[in-house]
Structure formats: C-alpha cells, structure tokens
Structure 1
Amino acid sequence: MTLVDITEERGVTTLALDSPATRNALSTHLVTELADALTACGKDPAVRAVVLTHTGGTFSAGADLKAPPSPYAFVDLLRQLVELPKPVVGHVTGHVRAGGLGLLGACDVVVAGEAADFALTEVRIGVAPAVISLTLLPKLDQRAAARYYLTGERFGVPEAVAMGLVTAGAEALPGILDGLRAGSPQGLREAKRLVTARVLETFERDAEDLVQRSATLFASAEAREGMTAFLERRDPEWRL
C-alpha cells in the first residue's frame, strides 16, 4: 500500500501524505516511503522544488503509537528535509499535531489554509516534543514555544504565523511556486544552505541527546499510562 502520493507539475513535485485512515500518523512505513520519495526528488535534475502536503483532513497526527518509527529514523527524515538540495514548501489545509509540526519546522516555507490548526500534544500523553525541537526551536518565538510546549493548547493560523511556524496563508502558494520556478537550481540550493545552516548546527549539537531523551520518556510509566489513556479514549490518571 502506497502512503505517499506523488504528482509533478512544471518542475514542482508534490508529495502528499496519503494515509487518511490513520490521520497520516508517522508510522515506520510512512516515514520510510517519504524518505525514499525525497531521495528521488533530490537526485532528479528536473525537480526544482518539492511541496509536502496531505490528503484528508489531517496533515499528520504525529507518531503512530501502534507502529512508530525509531527516533533515529525520524531524525534522519527531518534532517533530510532540511538538507535536501531543493526548496521544500509545506502546504497544510487541516489539523497538525505533535510530530507533524516537526515536519513543518523542517520545511523551508509553510503555507496554511484557514481551516488548519496546530497543537503540540506530547505533554498530554506523558512525553515532550524532544526530537522535533531540532527543527522547531531554532525557528519559533521562544515565548510562544514555551506556551504551546507546556499547555498542549490548539492554535490557529494567525498564531502559527506570528510565532514563525507558518510563512503565509495558502493563497500565497501559487506566487511562491512561481518564484521558485524562476530561481536557478544552483541559486536555490546555495540560498537554502544559508538559511538552514543554524538548524543543521542544532542537529550536530543536540540530535543524540534528544533521541535518548525521547526514548527514555516513551519507556516511562507515565508515558505508558498516557498512551493507554489516549488509545482507550479516557483521561490519564494525572488529569485534575
């Protein structure tokens, strides 16, 4: 079963996460397939830019709790997005949760439709947004990051733009793609290297620590209770 739908138009390859039945949860299968598609895009001289989007009403619900990828595989995917020698544009028209925000943080440009909403829900199942901090914290306003990391609150497109997660509304997408089509392959590649340098420094410095921290949290008793409560559609035992 294919979980990433691939289409091409005038030098732009669109990769759509296509597992609406699981709300595009980040399973081992989906992460592997997306990584393979990105590798092909990176090697194809006909590809000027990549759009990362989704089918269904959810861009991604975060990690698939039944078949999660290894933290190392997810780190590799985030780094691949950041290092891809082609611009990556995230296009969101629905819900984004937890690890899905990490994918958006790895994109170079993000546009969102009016119906999009976002939440960092990790604290509500007993863990923390550890690995996705590699792409989020270098880009987000620190006060906003603290609020949404700690509360798990849902927020909309205006807040996402103000905090640096989203670049613009979805209406800007055609103009952005036209601008990318006008850029030379070398110019786009080297310009991207400039704007991603600090994010890649974070990977070099923090990736191993955050992977280990994530593994420890997911193996904890609180996380087991949180994930069980989520799957059983009940409040966890710590809820006041």
Structure 2
Amino acid sequence: MTLISRTRARAVETLSLDATDTRNALSAALVSDLADALTDCGKDPDVRAVVLTHTGTTFSAGADLRDPPHPDALVGLLRQIVELPKPVIARVTGHVRAGGLGLLAACDIAAASTTATFAFTEVRIGVAPAVISLPLLPRTDPRALARYYLTGERFDPSEAVRLGLLTTTADDVDDALTPILDGLRRSSPQALTETKRLLTARVLETFDRDAADLTALSARLFTSPQAREGMTAFLERRDAAWVV
C-alpha cells in the first residue's frame, strides 16, 4: 500500500503525502514511495507540473524517529525534486517540521495557508538540519535563518516568506496557486525544463560539493548519545536532560 495518493487535472499531477497516523513523518517507506511517484511524473510526457501536498493537518513532522530513512535516501529524494524536469510546487495547509522543510526548499515554488506553522526542531533532539541544508541554504537568507536553525522556535508563514522558504502565503492557498498553475499550463514543456535548470544550478552545485559531508554529519549525530537522549525525551513527551 502506497503512502502517496495521486490525482491529475489538466496536466498537473498532485502527489499527497498520505501517512496521517505518523503526521506524514519521513519514514523509509514514505521516502521510497514519494521517490517512485516522482520518477513516474518525470517520465510522463502528459505531466506538465507536480503539486506536492498532504492529507491531514501536518505537511510533514520531519524524520520518522521509529523508521528513519537512510541519509543517502533523503539526499536522493531532495535532489530528485530539484532535478525533476518539471516544476514542483509545494502546497501546505498544515504544520511543517524539521525534514519536511527540506521538501519545501527543494520545490521550485512553495505556497502555504496563513494557518501553517514551521520549525527546525532538530536542535531540540540533539541533531542538526544537515541534509536539508542542501536545498535550504542556497535558497534562503542565512542570517535570518540562523535564528530558527539555532533555537528551534516556531515561525509563521509571513516569516517563512521573508526567509525565502515560501513563495507566497494566503488565507486560501488554492486561490493563490490558481494563477501559478495556469501560468505553468500555458508554458512550453521544453521551456519549463530549461528554465528550471537555470534556476536550480546553484542548488545542485551545493549538492555536488556538500552532500557527502552533510550525509556523514547526519549519520554521526543520529547515533550520538545526545541524540538518543533527545529522541527518547521527545517520544516520552518530556524535556531532554540538557534543558535548563
């Protein structure tokens, strides 16, 4: 049973993260299923663009702590979104945490409702936003991002737009996406592919340069004593030992 539901309307394929029992956490299975769905979209000449969205009240809660994907698999998924020869548009109407923010950053356009919330919660469980930095750092304001990377604070969609994480926010995210999707439907498939290559060149340079180091950092941190304490505290709904 796939964890990705799919619909299509006028050449736009919508892929919905559909694991509401885990708040669409990035498990090994969900990452694999999403990668397979994106591969299908990339090969299908009838797909002009892809919308990445979610069921339930959470776009993604980040890595599934009980069944996390291998860092290489997450790097591969993020790069696949960046390299897909069709635009990928994130549609968010709920909460986004940790690794889920990497998905947003990998997308070409990201829109969220005004009720969405965001947080880089990695530091609160003893790890760092390592792998997701590959698409995030080239596309956001690093000075503004530092606060949320270092504190794990929650922030709203207006702040996410200021950071460069979101393209737009609106009370009705579908109204906001209507002119964007109409514009993509009026665009030449060849032109979309080549224009996306221009836009993603700097991001892919970061993958080429830093992916191996950041994957190793992620793997090292996730097996550290502080990470074990942080994850246990999170699952037990208590403060970690270092909280003062």
Cα offsets for 1:92-146 (capped at 9, x unmatched)? 0000000000000000000000111100000000000000000100011112210
Paired letter, 2:201: A
Instruction: Say which SS state the counterpart of residue 52 (structure 2) adopts.
Output: strand
Q: CA RMSD in A?
A: 0.5
- Partner of residue 56, structure 2: 56
Instruction: Say which SS state the counterpart of residue 111 (structure 2) adopts.
Output: strand
Listed as ranges, the matches of 1:155-194 within 5 Å are 155-169=155-169, 170=173, 171-194=175-198
Cα offsets for 1:139-176 (capped at 9, x unmatched)? 11112210000000000010000110000122320110
Distance, in Å, in 1 between the alignment partners of 2:234 and 2:151 is 17
Q: Which runs of 5+ in 1 are unaligned?
A: none
Normalising by structure 1, we get a TM-score of 0.99
Instruction: Determine whether 1:99 maps to 2:99.
Output: yes
Runs of 4+ in 1 over 4 A off after TM superposition: none
Q: Which runs of 5+ in 2 are unaligned?
A: none
Paired letter, 1:219: T
Distance, in Å, in 1 between the alignment partners of 2:78 and 2:238 is 32
Cα offsets for 1:21-47 (capped at 9, x unmatched)? 100000011000000000000000000
- Partner of residue 219, structure 1: 223
- Partner of residue 33, structure 2: 33
Instruction: Say which SS state the counterpart of residue 138 (structure 2) adopts.
Output: coil
Choose 220-229 or 140-149, whichever is displaced more.
140-149
Aligned length: 240
Instruction: Say which SS state the counterpart of residue 144 (structure 2) adopts.
Output: helix
Instruction: Say which SS state the counterpart of residue 179 (structure 1) adopts.
Output: helix
- Partner of residue 67, structure 1: 67
Listed as ranges, the matches of 1:1-240 within 5 Å are 1-169=1-169, 170=173, 171-240=175-244
Choose 171-180 or 92-101, whichever is displaced more.
171-180
Paired letter, 2:21: A
Paired letter, 2:95: H
Distance, in Å, in 2 between the alignment partners of 1:135 and 1:20 is 25
Paired letter, 1:10: R
Distance, in Å, in 2 between the alignment partners of 1:117 and 1:182 is 32
- Identity, % of aligned positions: 70
How many angstroms does 1:2 deviate by? Answer: 2.1
